[in-house]
Structure 1
Amino acid sequence: MEKTLPPIPAKRYFTIGEVGDLCGVKPHVLRYWEQEFTQLRPMKRRGNRRYYQHHEVLMIRRIRDLLYDQGFTISGARNKMQELLQVERDKKRSGEVQLDGMEVLEIHDSEMDGFDEPGDVPDEEMAVMELHAIKKELLDIRELLMATA
């Protein structure tokens, strides 16, 4: 049942019909999957209309792959999705940064040595250094907030 799915357009929100077309499933299947996969929570607006974001479309495609292409049961796919999400959480906690859902960069302090002047660093490495600095600031903020709680 290998079917090529269309590319996901650069939009912020997708209707249930658009997601159905992008993922090759009918809207009633998407509503059922919402009940079975707790990670799948589209935003609901007036009249209970569902609006999905890009990451939810990717999640639906992953669920579809597990069920239709890999032959998982609903229960097995649910367990696999929880396992995959836990792996992603662990990667984030361990200092890995995920870009565009594909490439994973791991940032270590030792990689930051020797870069004193911004002109010495290529653009990609500068971006990694900026991400590292932002991560450090956020961790410091989290530590301050936890200390006051």
Structure 2
Amino acid sequence: MQASNPETGTAALPPIPAKRYFTIGEVSELCGVKAHVLRYWEQEFTQLKPVKRSGNRRYYQHHEVMLIRRIRHLLYDEGFTISGARNRLGEAAIHQHEETEAATRYKALIADLRHEIETTLAALKS
């Protein structure tokens, strides 16, 4: 019996090596998904766009391997449909965008407060 991965909930998958690009065969082994399924998912999930080089060979980057693992988890472990998984990934992207915007606003607020404090300190020193 394989141990469950707490991050994705899937059966233990091999660690992803520190490489820039992975072939479809390597991704298939790393994610536990057959190559024809990966090619199908490319059509269904717009976020999945491997680089295509000579002879139309696909090369996946690290973030795409992580995305494939997430898709696999949604479909196989959580029981989502393709459409449901697509929606969930879209919601995650929107949530991440909102968090990034909030972080940017907080950084600007902190910079304004810092400037105000420095101005006040300079006025008190003089």
**Which residue number corresponds to residue 52 of structure 1?**
60
Query: 4+ residue runs of structure 1 moved beyond 4 angstroms?
Result: 106-109
Distance 1:30 1:79 in 2: 18
Q: Read off the aligned partner of 1:20 and give its amino acid letter.
A: S
Gaps of 5+ in 1: 97-105, 114-149
* SS of aligned partner of 1:95: helix
**Which residue number corresponds to residue 122 of structure 2?**
none
Match of 1:31 among 33, 39, 45: 39
Shift of 1:86: 1.4
**Which residue number corresponds to residue 98 of structure 2?**
90
Q: Read off the aligned partner of 2:77 and give its amino acid letter.
A: D
Distance 1:49 1:89 in 2: 32
Distance 1:19 1:89 in 2: 27
Does structure 1 residue 5 correspond to structure 2 residue 13?
Answer: yes
Shift of 1:107: 4.8
- Structure-2-length-normalised TM-score: 0.74
> Which has the larger share of strand?
1
Gaps of 5+ in 2: 5-9, 115-126
Does structure 1 residue 65 correspond to structure 2 residue 77?
Answer: no
CA RMSD between the two structures: 2.2
Shift of 1:94: 2.3
Distance 1:42 1:93 in 2: 28
Instruction: State how many pairs are aligned.
Output: 106
Q: Read off the aligned partner of 1:22 and give its amino acid letter.
A: L
Quote the sequence identity (%).
63
> Could you report, residue by residue, the CA deviation over 1:81-100 in whole angstroms, capped at 9, with x for unpaired residues?
1111111122222226xxxx
Bigger Rg, which one: 2
**Which residue number corresponds to residue 103 of structure 1?**
none
**Which residue number corresponds to residue 22 of structure 1?**
30
> Could you report, residue by residue, the CA deviation over 1:23-42 in whole angstroms, capped at 9, with x for unpaired residues?
01011000000000011101
- Structure-1-length-normalised TM-score: 0.64
